């Protein structure tokens, strides 16, 4: 999903908790998939009726409901009502311009994160809001469109790799958060390649089109900072909180995700500093090129000053100028002018001015 200008004027004057979709319009139906699992079995299927989602959850297993599509507000409300989601949480789910945050309600924990991906065709970072609602034996995830960074988590559940099948929805939430954070590293790697390539190009030759690319990358890193920085507060708040939904063993893993987030933030800040330095290098190279041009023009103008003086003297057309009647006066004047030009060039060369 590309970054669109999210406008909130449609919500003006509405009561708090009124869900209004703010995002890209879509005609695709809302798609709900269920992944229900425990230590011994895995059930995976698609749910056609949003109202039936809650009735399919198991009490002795973990039920992960993934919802693709937020444009149909009625369907989102049909899913949220049986799970007892707070109206403010539903409002935040369909308001796709939220910053990462965590809200704790009576029997659930609501999380908002930004899922990033690198668009190779457009050469930019695309973002998507992902919302999680964690309950006692279930987890709801809401995405704007199909396609995400959770395929690895699904494969671990299907193939019983790791401890995810023997843990609760809190560990599932950690796994999904960790997958999103890992995707940040992929995006940073692609942007880092662009920064390194641009650094070499600017160092060799500063072209005007490079300035726009530098500015675009600076905007990308500013956007990354705004999308990732609040996640540190979210993870830190969960670790400090006393939510019964998160087991102590899961909090240990969550600290690892927190450390990865700090690493991502440090990398973003490093690249931002590099882009600022790259902009200074570009401007310095442009200034140096301008100085070189001005130096060449100055040398040319300096050489022609005495030549213009000689030509001006013999262009005054006085009647009694001795050289005017000399047979070789024209060639003599040209020779003097050539000797002066060669002498000045030799002098400039000796001084190292070019």
Task: Report pLDDT digits (tens) over 102-116.
Answer: 999 888 899 999 999
Whether the pLDDT of residue 26 is over 80: the answer is: no
How much is the pLDDT for 149? 87
The yes-or-no verdict on residue 1 having pLDDT over 50 is no
Of 178-182, 205-209, 273-277, 300-304, the poorest mean pLDDT is in 205-209
Q: What is the pLDDT of residue 322?
A: 77
- Edge-to-edge strand ranges of the sheet holding 31-37: 42-47, 31-37, 62-68, 138-143, 124-134, 109-119, 101-104
- Does pLDDT of 278 surpass 60? yes
Give one DSSP letter per residue of 235-287, joined into a string: HHHHHHS--TTS-HHHHHHHHHHHHHHHHHHHHHHHHHHHHHHHHHHHHHHHH
The superfamily in CATH containing domain 9-284 is CorA soluble domain-like (3.30.460.20)
Residues of the chain with CATH 1.20.58.340: 293-351
Q: Report the CATH fold assignment for 293-351.
A: Methane Monooxygenase Hydroxylase; Chain G, domain 1 (1.20.58)
Strands 62-68 and 31-37: antiparallel
Q: What would the pLDDT profile of 144-176 be if each residue is shown by its tens digit?
A: 888 888 999 999 999 999 899 999 999 999 999
Cα 66 from Cα 281, distance rounded (Å): 47
Q: How confident is the model at residue 10 (pLDDT cuts 50, 70, 90)?
A: low
Rounded mean pLDDT of 41-55? 81
In this predicted model, what pLDDT tens digit does every residue of 178-205 receive, in sequence order? 999 999 999 999 999 989 888 888 877 7
With 0.85 as the threshold, say if the pTM is over it: no
Using alpha carbons only, what angle is made at residue 287 by residues 284 and 292, rounded to the nearest 5 degrees? 125
Phi, psi of 153 (to 5 degrees): -65, -40
Query: 309-323: per-residue pLDDT in tens?
Result: 888 887 777 777 777
| Least trusted range by pLDDT, from 129-133, 240-244, 297-301 | 240-244
> How far apart are the C-alpha atoms of 217 and 277, rounded to whole Å?
13
Identify any residues that bridge with 117 across adjacent strands, giving them in sequence order: 126
Per-residue confidence (pLDDT) for residue 5, from 0 to 100: 45
pLDDT band of residue 332 (cuts 50, 70, 90) is confident
Domain with CATH 3.30.460.20 in the chain: 9-284
Residue range 285-307: mean pLDDT, rounded: 85
pLDDT digits (tens, 9 = 90+) for 82-135: 888 999 999 999 988 889 999 998 888 999 999 999 988 888 888 899 999 999
Q: What is the mean pLDDT of the chain?
A: 86
- pLDDT score for 247: 87
The CA angle 97-98-99, to the nearest 5 degrees, is 120
């Amino acid at each position: 999903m590309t970054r669109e200008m999210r406008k909130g004027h449609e919500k003006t004057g509405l009561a708090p908790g009124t869900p209004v979709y703010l995002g890209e319009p879509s005609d695709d139906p809302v798609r709900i998939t269920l992944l229900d699992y425990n230590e011994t079995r895995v059930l995976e299927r698609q749910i056609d009726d949003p109202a039936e989602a809650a009735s399919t959850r198991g009490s002795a297993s973990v039920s992960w409901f993934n919802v693709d599509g937020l444009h149909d507000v009625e369907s989102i409300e049909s899913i949220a009502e049986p799970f007892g989601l707070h109206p403010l949480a539903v409002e935040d789910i369909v308001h796709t311009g939220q910053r990462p945050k965590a809200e704790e309600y009576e029997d659930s924990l609501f999380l908002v994160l930004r899922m990033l991906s690198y668009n190779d065709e457009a050469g930019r970072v695309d973002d998507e809001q992902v919302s999680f609602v964690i309950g006692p034996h279930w987890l709801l995830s809401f995405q704007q469109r199909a396609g995400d960074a959770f395929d690895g988590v699904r494969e671990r559940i299907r193939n019983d790799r790791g401890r995810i099948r023997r843990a609760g929805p809190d560990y599932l939430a950690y796994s999904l958060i960790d997958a999103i954070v890992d995707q940040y590293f992929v995006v940073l790697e692609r942007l880092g390649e662009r920064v390194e390539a641009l650094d070499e190009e600017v160092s060799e030759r500063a072209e005007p089109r490079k300035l726009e690319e530098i500015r675009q990358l600076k905007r990308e890193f500013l956007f990354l900072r705004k999308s990732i920085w609040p996640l540190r507060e979210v993870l830190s708040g969960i670790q400090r909180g006393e939510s019964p939904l998160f087991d102590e063993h899961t909090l240990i893993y969550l600290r690892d995700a927190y450390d990865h987030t700090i690493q991502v933030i440090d990398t973003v800040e490093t690249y931002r500093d590099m882009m600022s330095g790259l902009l200074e290098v570009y401007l310095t190279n442009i200034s140096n090129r301008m100085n070189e041009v001005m130096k060449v023009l100055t040398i040319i103008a300096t050489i022609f000053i005495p030549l213009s003086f000689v030509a001006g003297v013999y262009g005054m057309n006085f009647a009694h100028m001795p050289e005017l009647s000399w047979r070789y006066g024209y060639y003599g004047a040209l020779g003097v002018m050539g000797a002066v030009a060669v002498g000045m060039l030799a002098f400039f060369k000796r001084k190292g001015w070019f």
